[in-house]
Amino acid sequence: MLRPIDPVALRAILRRGVERGLWTAEQLDRPSPGWIDNTRVSSRAFRNGYQGIAYRNPLRDQPTQPQPVQPVQNQQTDYDPTAEFPF
């Protein structure tokens, strides 16, 4: 399944913004006002408060190494290409 946002591309965009001086990595450590507003929930509907995704700065995340892909072995158990066709 593909992720909706590629984490590698997101880190590259944020890093370019830091290099250009649009924001600092320390500013990205704090959630935005929109994040805070969206995680503020009604205590009647959610008795324990917001328990969803925790905010994190993608620039502080350690990039994960991709898992090596194992090649699939071709199993010719259902079809023999050298056999003659019956029709």
Mean pLDDT value across the chain: 80
Q: Tens of pLDDT along 4-35?
A: 788 888 899 999 999 999 999 999 999 999 98
Please calculate the CA angle 66-70-74 and round it to the nearest 5 degrees.
Answer: 155
The domain limits of the chain are 1-54
pTM score: 0.56
Check residue 68 and give its pLDDT: 74
* Conformational region of residue 35, where left means phi above 0, alpha means psi within -120 to 50, and beta covers everything else: alpha
> Can you say how many angstroms the Cα of residue 47 is from the centroid of all Cα atoms in its chain?
29
* Cβ-contact 29, 58 below 8 angstroms: no
